[in-house]
């Protein structure tokens, strides 16, 4: 019998103007700067025993091109964290830039919705281990361009389409819960795992406490991204180390 996959704890760093920030419900007007040195934050995560990092170029998401590659490069060079990077990925060159700067995986959101042919090209060119579908949702409908634009695309249909072409990893963020510290979309994740049991699903948005992480792990999701709960000290880094950092 195959052993269950380790559940990955993935702290988040969101970047605007080179600084570590958090938004509330994806609203750029609701920005709070937590630290002006993203490397210091990444090192704090690493020193606490965490192994992974979700790095988001919010400037890039808005500009529709990678803006903060230098921040990625600095963190990759000065920590041993396994980094997935997103924000502004629109071309092969953007992906090449992110991977050359030290990302292990790249998150693709808007292009997966707006240009199916291009996304399938990336799955084939870079492989499903490198490409993460970043599905940001309100209800079950996907939003794009850094959460600024809603679409009529259903997240279940989007995943089903790309799964047929080898998609393996999905980060699903409920924008309506993100940054509110009111819990994540457990019911949505449960339905996604029932529909796609082999999917490497990463929960994101609203994670509030350690008990919720246990619940998400029991659903069979691959991991959870944690942002504001860490920065607001609702979840302590010592508690995450005791929970287990995943593989």
Confirm if 246 and 7 have CB atoms less than 8 A apart. Answer: yes
- Give exposure, 43-74, as e/b (b: 16+ Cβ within 10 Å): eebbebebbbbbbbbbbbbbebbbbbbebbbb
CB 38 within 8 A of CB 20: yes
24 phi, psi to nearest 5 deg: -110, 120
Instruction: Kindly report the number of other CB atoms within 10 A of residue 2's CB atom.
Output: 4
Which of 136, 174, 178, 222 is labelled catalytic?
136
- Which residue of the set 14, 57, 59, 94 is catalytic? 14
Question: How many Å apart are CA 22 and CA 48, to the nearest integer?
Answer: 21
Q: Is 96 a catalytic residue?
A: no
Helices (H), the chain: 38-47, 58-63, 69-78, 92-101, 110-114, 116-126, 155-163, 186-195, 210-219, 228-231, 237-243
238 part of the active site = no
Could you please report the per-residue DSSP string of 10-62? Answer: EEEEEEETTEEEEEETTEEEEEEEEES-HHHHHHHHHHTT--EEEEEEHHHHH
By annotation, the residues acting in catalysis are: 14, 136
């Amino acid at each position: 019998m195959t052993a269950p996959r380790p559940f990955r704890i993935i702290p988040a760093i969101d970047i605007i103007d080179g600084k570590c920030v958090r938004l509330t419900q994806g609203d750029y007007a609701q920005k709070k700067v937590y630290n002006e040195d993203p490397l210091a934050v990444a090192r704090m995560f690493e020193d606490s025993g965490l192994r992974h990092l979700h790095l988001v170029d919010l400037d890039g998401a808005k500009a529709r091109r990678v803006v903060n590659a230098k921040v990625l490069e600095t963190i990759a060079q000065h920590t041993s964290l396994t980094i997935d990077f997103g924000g502004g990925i629109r071309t092969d060159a953007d992906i090449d830039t992110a991977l050359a700067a030290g990302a292990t995986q790249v998150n693709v959101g808007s292009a997966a919705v707006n240009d199916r042919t291009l996304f399938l090209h990336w799955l084939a060119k870079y492989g499903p281990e490198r490409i993460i579908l970043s599905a940001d949702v309100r209800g079950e409908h996907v939003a794009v361009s850094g959460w600024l634009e809603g679409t009529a695309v259903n997240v279940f249909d989007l995943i089903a389409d790309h799964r047929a072409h080898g998609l393996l990893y999905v980060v699903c963020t409920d924008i309506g819960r993100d940054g509110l510290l009111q819990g994540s979309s457990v019911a949505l994740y449960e339905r996604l795992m029932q529909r796609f049991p082999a999917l490497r699903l990463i929960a994101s948005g609203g994670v509030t406490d350690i008990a919720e992480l246990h619940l998400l792990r029991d659903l069979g999701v691959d991991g959870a991204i944690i942002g504001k709960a860490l920065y607001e000290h609702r979840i302590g880094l010592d508690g995450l180390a005791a929970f287990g950092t995943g593989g």
